[in-house]
Structure 1
Amino acid sequence: MQHQGILVRGSAGPLVAVCRVSPLYTSLLPPKADLIPAPHLTTLQLPLPWETFGFPSQWLGRSVHLVTGDPAWDWSDVAPAFGIPATEDTDTTLEEPTHVQGWAVDHIVLLVPALDEAVAVFAEIGLDPRLRMQVRDRPAAFFRAGPLVEVVESPVRNPAIYGVTLVCDEPLEGVALRWRSMGLNISTVHSAIQPGRRIFTVHDTEAGLAVLSPDRAL
Structure 2
Amino acid sequence: MSGLSSVQSPASLPEADLIPAQHLTTLQLPLPWETFGFPSQWVGRSVHLVTGDPAWSWSETAPTFNIPAVEDTDTALQEPTHVAGWAVDHVVLLVPSLDEAIVILAEAGLDPRLQMKVKGRPAAFFRAGPLVEVVESPVRNPAIYGVTLVCEEPLEGVALRWRAMGLNISTIQGAIQPGRRIFSVHDTEAGFAVMSADKAVH
* TM-score bin (small chain): over 0.9
Match of 1:4 in 2: none
Shift of 1:15: 6.4
Structure 2 counterpart of 1:58, one-letter code:
Q
Match of 1:29 in 2: 11
Query: What TM-score results when the alignment is normalised by the length of structure 2?
Result: 0.95
CA distance in 2, matches of 1:86, 1:106: 20
Match for residue 185 of structure 1 among 144, 165, 168: 168
Provide the alpha-carbon RMSD of the alignment. 1.4
Give the SS at the match of 2:78.
coil
Give the SS at the match of 2:148.
strand
Match of 2:146 in 1: 163
Query: What TM-score results when the alignment is normalised by the length of structure 1?
Result: 0.88
- Work out the percentage of aligned pairs sharing the same amino acid: 77
Shift of 1:192: 1.6
Superposed, which structure 2 residues align to 1:1-218 within 5 Å?
A: 8=1, 18=6, 28-30=10-12, 31-218=14-201
Per-residue CA distance 1:148-179 (angstroms, 9 max, x = gap): 00000000000000000000011101100100
Give the SS at the match of 1:185.
coil
Shift of 1:193: 2.1
Structure 2 counterpart of 1:189, one-letter code:
I
CA distance in 1, matches of 2:89, 2:176: 15
CA distance in 2, matches of 1:155, 1:65: 29
Structure 1 residues not aligned, in runs of 5+:
1-7, 9-13
> 1:16·1:136 contact (CA, 8 Å) conserved in 2?
no
CA distance in 1, matches of 2:37, 2:130: 22
Structure 2 counterpart of 1:29, one-letter code:
A
Structure 1 counterpart of 2:134, one-letter code:
V
Aligned residues: 200
Shift of 1:126: 1.3
Give the SS at the match of 1:130.
strand
Shift of 1:134: 1.2
Match of 1:11 in 2: none
Structure 2 residues not aligned, in runs of 5+:
none
Per-residue CA distance 1:155-214 (angstroms, 9 max, x = gap): 000000000000001110110010001110000112222222111000000000000000
CA distance in 1, matches of 2:177, 2:107: 31
